[in-house]
Amino acid sequence: MSNLSHAEVADKLKELKLELSPKISYRLETLFPRIEGWSVKGWIRVKFRAVKQLEPLLEEILLKGEQVLLVTSGNEWTLSRLFRKGGLKAASTSCRAIVMTNLRVLSFRTKDNGRPLNMIWSIYYSQLESLEVSLLGYTRLELRDGEKLHYPNINKEDQRWMQHLAAENRQIFRDHHFDPPVTQSCEQLCGQCFGAIPADHYECRHCGAVYWSPLEIGIRSFLLPSWGEILMKNYLMAYFEFNLFFLFFMMALLAAFKGMYFTGMSLFVLTCLLDAVLNMQAAAKGLYLKKASPVGLKAESPP
């Protein structure tokens, strides 16, 4: 798709005084597929900043011989997870940075400013049945186990490159009969050692790190609204939740003072229950560290 060479892109980055980490192998001609044209310098700088924010994590997680081909961003949701795992809080937990390498598609949970968190998902190309653009403009990934991931807000240029790179690497995997073992098509990785953690498991068998289960966070949120947000390190959301809880608590007290004891108690319980349900949904969308790894071991490379 691109007629650029690695050297041409490298010279352009050097001209703009932009330096990528020498510890990471990049395919520059797909990472920056255009270097000429109106406003291209600004576009390169924006893309460069997005890559640089990910580099500290990429330096740790990339395997020997793994090369970064493309970096983009968008929100992420699935039809099943929308209802089962965080639909009501999807907006606050769906920001993603997407990295395509020659081995897999990596999805990083990020803050609104693009800063990555240690919540990472991995999809080998052998698990990727198709990557298409829907009529609504969403980037849709259909996985071998039936999971469907939808990424809105990815620009059209990145979508075209994602389709091209996915097709290219899926063919390479098929030609070499390469099919790494997985526990699910979209593997959730430990934020400490980057080993795969199966669905509904909250302890890493590679390094021993322990994560909060949605039930644990839900119970604590019921006992004290905003506690769950604090455990998930969503401190701003915890502040707003606590203030909202305090408002409903005062309303419940007022109802009790007026003799409406059942109304006051029901309002109090429903407020706590709603917060517990919302935080359980949010907690099911990622792994939130409870106890750090006793050993600093990195997960073994796939076969």
Same domain for 95 and 41 = yes
Same domain for 243 and 149 = no
Domain assignment present for residue 205? The answer is: no
Domain end point (choices 156, 189, 222): 189
Name the pTM for this structure.
Answer: 0.82
Burial (0-12, 13-18, 19+ Cβ within 10 Å), 19: exposed
Domain assignment present for residue 127? The answer is: yes
Domain assignment present for residue 93? The answer is: yes
Same domain for 148 and 182 = yes
Same domain for 224 and 158 = no
Same domain for 135 and 10 = yes
Same domain for 57 and 172 = yes
Same domain for 167 and 251 = no
C-alpha closest to that of 163 among 105, 107, 207, 221: 105
Does residue 272 contact residue 228 with C-beta atoms inside 8 Å? no
Same domain for 256 and 111 = no
Does residue 14 contact residue 44 with C-beta atoms inside 8 Å? no
Domain interval for residue 134 = 6-189
- Which is it for strands 25-26 and 67-75: parallel, antiparallel or unpaired? parallel
Same domain for 238 and 168 = no
- Residue 30 has what pLDDT? 95
Q: Which residues of the chain have pLDDT under 50?
A: 79-93, 299-303
Same domain for 225 and 182 = no
Mean pLDDT of the chain: 85
- Residue 103 has what pLDDT? 96
- Residue 254 has what pLDDT? 82
- Residue 297 has what pLDDT? 53
Same domain for 219 and 136 = no
- Residue 161 has what pLDDT? 95
Whole-angstrom distance, CA of residue 70 vs CA of residue 143: 20
What is the number of domains present in the chain?
A: 2
